[in-house]
Amino acid sequence: MTSKKQTALARTHAHERLARQRQERIEREQANETDLTAYLVLQQQLTDTERTYQRSVRTIRDRQATHLRNWRARGEKPAVIADLVGMTVTELNRLIKKPAEASEPQPAAPHGNIPSS
């Protein structure tokens, strides 16, 4: 038979072991929460960056299309424009037909000045 002293000592060891395990679990959960929070913040930053990138590409493509439409409106043939810019006539027409912010052709920029719109 075990004595009361041995039983008390076993209980003390069990309580200490359980307390250590609880503390380790709490620390793991806190570290997991920290990692999850950091991951989610970075995921949001990535999403925001992708949106900004896509908006920038759309804006630049719209500006390119405006200049190509202006070029064509001045009487240049699509095949010549396509050859000069390095795309097929089909690609050129697809880009030109996309909705433009300004449907009116803009005047040509003076030599050496590129419009920023």
Q: What is the pLDDT at residue 98?
A: 73
Q: Judge whether 105 lies within some domain.
A: no
Q: Judge whether 85 lies within some domain.
A: yes
Each of the 117 residues of the chain gets a pLDDT tens digit; together they read: 679 999 999 999 999 999 999 999 999 999 999 999 999 999 999 999 999 999 999 999 999 999 999 999 999 999 999 999 999 999 999 999 876 544 444 555 544 444 544
Q: Judge whether 17 lies within some domain.
A: yes
pTM higher than 0.75? no
Q: Judge whether 110 lies within some domain.
A: no
Structural domain count of the chain? 1
Residue 47 is which amino acid?
A: T
Q: Which domain holds residue 71?
A: 4-97
Q: Judge whether 25 lies within some domain.
A: yes
Dist. CA 87–CA 81, nearest whole Å? 9
Query: Both tokens of residue 13?
Result: 């060891």
Query: Both tokens of residue 45?
Result: 């930053």
